[in-house]
Amino acid sequence: MELPRAIAILNKHVTNRVQGLWAWLVPPWAVVHHTGRSSGRAYRTPIVGFATPQGFAIPILYGPQSQWVKNLLAAGGGEIQRGGRRYEFLDPRVVPSSEISATGIAGAYIRAAGVALVATRGRRV
């Protein structure tokens, strides 16, 4: 289920600023570090993500047109900071949630989103 863009805009300007203060410390929250496609500017986006057999999955609640998703895809990855540690986030791709084998809360969250960004979590940086 894709949420309305108005909520995404509110989160970008209000909620993300607050969540960015603690999301990198408290799993399943994390912070994705990515670079703007045209600006080259560094961005930090708080997300909810889960380790899965396919790698690391981030439910895309606002659809694949989200800027952070486009930035990660265009760059071929970025970095993810979770539980106080920062890792490479490699070879991202958007897949339907039906292709992700996750159970429990992770599975429910991913299935509710409909699509997820899946990537390999690389070495610690």
Separate counts of helices (H) and strands (E) for the chain: 4, 7
- 5 pLDDT higher than 80: no
- Residue 31's pLDDT is what? 96
- Residue 18's pLDDT is what? 76
Question: What is the helix (H) or strand (E) element at residue 67, kind and residue range?
Answer: helix 67-75
The CA–CA distances, whole Å, from 30 to 33, 66, 82 equal 10, 17, 5
State whether residue 101 is helix, strand or coil.
coil
Q: What is the mean pLDDT of residues 3-8?
A: 66
CATH class of 5-124: mainly beta
At residue 118, φ and ψ (nearest 5 deg) are -115, 135
- Residue 79's pLDDT is what? 97
Per-residue pLDDT tens for 75-123? 999 999 999 999 999 999 999 999 988 888 888 888 888 999 999 999 9
Per-residue pLDDT tens for 28-85? 999 999 999 999 999 999 999 998 887 899 999 888 989 999 999 999 999 999 999 9
Model confidence at 3, pLDDT cuts 50, 70, 90, reads low
Structure tokens at 79: 């970095």
Q: Considering the entire predicted model, what is its pTM?
A: 0.86
State whether residue 37 is helix, strand or coil.
coil
- Residue 21's pLDDT is what? 79
